[in-house]
Structures are given as structure tokens and as C-alpha cells.
Structure 1
Amino acid sequence: MIQAHYGEFAALLVALFWTITALSFEFASIRVGSLAVNIIRLVIGFLFLSTFTLFHRGLFFPSDAGMQNWIWLSLSGLIGFVMGDYFLFHSYVIVGSWFSMLVMTLAPALAALFGWIILGETMDIKNTTALLLTMGGIVLAMFGKGNGQEKLTLNKPVRGI
């Protein structure tokens, strides 16, 4: 039985570890601040990655990379690791990890939507229905009725999104 369900078990483990990570970073960001958490995470990640490359390639630092590689890697790291993760950790403080992770689940649906609009990619009726159903469920979860309210409202500050 276990052999037939490796994918399902892997998906459950990913969801479990993703949740533990989000809650841990939320707790740490609230305690010491999102900037401090991001800097500590970057230093630890750099040390782990450098140690791995030392054993794998014999270089602690990728000094054999060309200038163009360094430019693109630096831009990617600044945008993704430094700015993106700082904003994510700060959103944990403002709106909480649950809501932040919910907003992040919009990424694949938005990528498909922008691929259709900007790149002219095609989606059949099944894919379009799945996209709309997924986005509708996420948006419905993001908006909720407050105590005694008749209309759906966004109960979180927009600044945290």
C-alpha cells in the first residue's frame, strides 16, 4: 500500500514542513523583527550552500563564474532572497502566516492567467474552469464576513498583502 502512494505521502510531508516553516518564521519575525530574521536566514543559508559546494565542487565560493553570471545571480538574489523574503516575513508580522500563505497560493493561478493574457498561451475549458474554481476558492477564503456583517469584506490590512 505504501509503495502505491509515494506521491501522496510526499505531498503531505511538503504541506506539513511548509506549515512548520511558515509558523516558525512568523514566530521569529514577531519576536526579533523581520529584517533580523531575514539576515540570519541568509547567513545560515550562505554557509550551508557554501559548505555543500566545497564538498561537491571543491570551491567554497563560486569564483570560477563569469561576470555576466554574477550580475544575474546577484540581481536574482537581491530581488528574491533579500527583498522578497523580507516582505514575506514582514507580512507574517502584519497579517499572519496563514493569510500570507493563502495569498502565495495565488501564484500559479496568476502565472497561468498572465501567460494567457500577455504571452497568448491557450487554455482549454477544463483548465479555465479549474483556474476559476481555484482562484474563486482562494478569494472566498481571503474575504470573510465579520461579526454580524452581511457583505464579504477583507479583514486584513492591504499593506500586509
Structure 2
Amino acid sequence: LIGGAWCGLVLGAADTLQQVGISMTTAGKAGFITALYIILVPLMGHFMGRKVPRIIMVCVALAIAGFYLLCINGDFQVSFGDFLVLCCAVFFALHILVIDHFLLKRANSIKLSWVQFAIAFLFSGTLTVLFEHPDWSALWDAKWPLLYAGGLSSGVAYTLQIVGQKYTEPTTATLIMSLESVFAALAGWLILGEVMTAKELTGCVLVFAAVILAQIPLPHIPFRQKD
């Protein structure tokens, strides 16, 4: 209950900041700024006393470069919307670390996920009542996108995230989840007929390479002293 409550509050804050921020900036910049959580997770973990392998930091740098090529077009100017999305990235990084913290305490993954969604619903519902005036007819018209977003991209995806984090450390999990933007670009190409430029394809390759490199066990080379 405690773990799910913390996860739900952090996730609710992250999603809210992202949705408000993205209404004030471009999708490309929002995608890149949100992806900064892949570097925030190891940095936060370092300050929390976690040991981060050097190869992971190399992978993070590769992934950041890839996301820049994939998402950013034109001049990069910081707006208030960009700042809100940056705050969103901080909360998404915290979300990964909070999940890891409670999994290390042997929390049940499915129960943790259930409580997380209940608290996130209460958090977001309260903000909706306080700051918005929902049009129920418009909500009904959007029922299928809402059911998909709530059931699959939120319910299934975030539950699989919690279950998957039982078997990997936070920074590697972050790199794997960062493939979301790559899959989005590829799906846009395959399904919607969007054409990716050479720059965007290079970005996809860099992010994919970072994820693969993070999974390869490197041989340990012992230090040899001179005679």
C-alpha cells in the first residue's frame, strides 16, 4: 500500500506535467526532454549511493545523442512548456527509482501496480475537478482512444515495467524503456507512411546500439602490477 501510493503520486505528477507541458511546446522537443530521464536515473542513483558501471554512462551518452537526432528539428529554445516537460522527466526518473526501492523490499509487483493506478486515478481526478470542466459527451466520443491509453499503454505497459524491474537494475531498465520513441518513429513510418530522414534513422541506430551495449556482459580485465 505504501509503495503503491508513492508510485501512484509520482506517476500522476509525471503524467500531468507532461500533458500540460506538451500543450505549450512542440512534440519533438517534448520527446527529447522527456527522454532526459535516461540520464537522470543513473545520476540520481549515484547520489543515492548506487554504483553505476562506466559502460552504462557511455550508453546513456549514446542514447541522449540518438534522441537529439531523432526528435529535435530547428532551433532549440527553452519555453515554459519545456520547463514543465523537464520537471516531468525528473518525476519519471523518480518513478523508476521508487519502483526499484519497493521491489528490493520484496513488494508484490501486481499489487504494487494496482495500488499505483488507484492513487494515480485519485490524483488526476482531483486535479480535473479543481482545474477543468470535463465535457462528458466529448469524453464519450473519445472512448476508444481513452480505453486504449488506459488499458494498454498505461495499464499493461506500466505493470510490465514493474514486473520487469524485478530482474534488472534501474539504469538498464531506463535505457530499454527509452526505445519507446524509436518504436514510435518506426511505427509512424510503417503504419502512417511517415518518412524518416537520414538524421532520424541515425538517431534510431544510436539509441538501439546503446540498449544492446548495456546488455552485453563485458569481460573483467584484472589490474596487473609491475614487477
Question: RCO (CA 8 Å, sep 6+): is it higher in 1 or 2?
Answer: 2
1:76 has 2:154 as partner: no
Cα distance in 2 for partners of 1:18, 1:41 equals 14
- The number of equivalent residue pairs is 143
**Structure 2 CA distance for partners of 1:125 and 1:33, relative to 1, 3 Å:** same
Q: TM-score, normalised by structure 2?
A: 0.50
Equivalent position of 1:88 in the other structure: 161
Give the Å deviation of 1:104: 0.9
SS in 2 for 1:93: coil
Q: State whether structure 2 residue 91 is matched by structure 1 residue 39.
A: no
Task: Pick closer, same or farther for the CA change 1:139–1:11 going to 2, 3 Å.
Answer: farther
Could you tell me how far 1:142 is from its partner in structure 2?
A: 2.6
Q: CA RMSD in A?
A: 3.3
| Contact 1:106/1:135, CA 8 A, preserved across alignment | yes
Shift of residue 5 of structure 1? 9.8
* Residue identity opposite 2:188 in structure 1: G
Tell me which structure has the larger Cα radius of gyration. Answer: 1
C-alpha spacing 1:143/1:113, structure 2 compared with 1 (3 Å): farther
2:195 equivalent in structure 1: 122
Q: 1:130 to 1:82 in 2, by over 3 A?
A: closer
Distance 1:68 1:35 in 2: 31
In structure 2, list runs of 5 or more residues that go unmatched.
1-77, 222-227
Residue 29 of structure 1: aligned partner: 103
Does the Cα contact within 8 Å between 2:100 and 2:170 map onto a contact in 1?
yes
- Structure 1 unmatched runs, 5+: 149-161
Question: Percent sequence identity over matched residues?
Answer: 24
Contact 2:110–2:159 (CA<8 Å) still a contact in 1?
A: yes
